[in-house]
Amino acid sequence: MTITHPHHPLHGQRCAVVRIRRGVDPDLILRLPDGSHAAIAMSSTDYDETPGHPVAPSSPELPLLDLQGLRQIVDLVEQLRQDGRGPQPRRRTRRSSERRPV
């Protein structure tokens, strides 16, 4: 894969793709020439034009959040609260306009 963004410091250099992070503009995790890893937007490379490379979908196949998953999170947080290990609900403080007259 070659970095094609004209203002990227590694413009024109070839790098190995380690993995893909999905998203609207997916990121490629690259192995740089010095052996370190870095992320770059797929649109700043020729990755999707390279024969033999799968193209990551532009939108996730599954929703990031779904109702069942959110309910499971609520149940988990409630169980942790009951066990004394989770976040405790905020105590509501009265505003000056809500205070009772003395």
- Taking only the tens place, the pLDDT of each residue in 3-44 is 999 998 989 999 999 998 887 778 999 998 888 999 999 889
In one letter, which amino acid is 30? L
Report the residue count for the chain: 102
> How big is the chain by its Cα radius of gyration, in Å?
24
Q: Rounded to whole angstroms, how far apart are CA atoms 7 and 11?
A: 7
pLDDT of residue 58: 47
User: For residue 51, what pLDDT band results from cuts at 50, 70 and 90?
Assistant: low
* Percent of all residues in the chain with a pLDDT value above 70, rounded to a whole number: 74
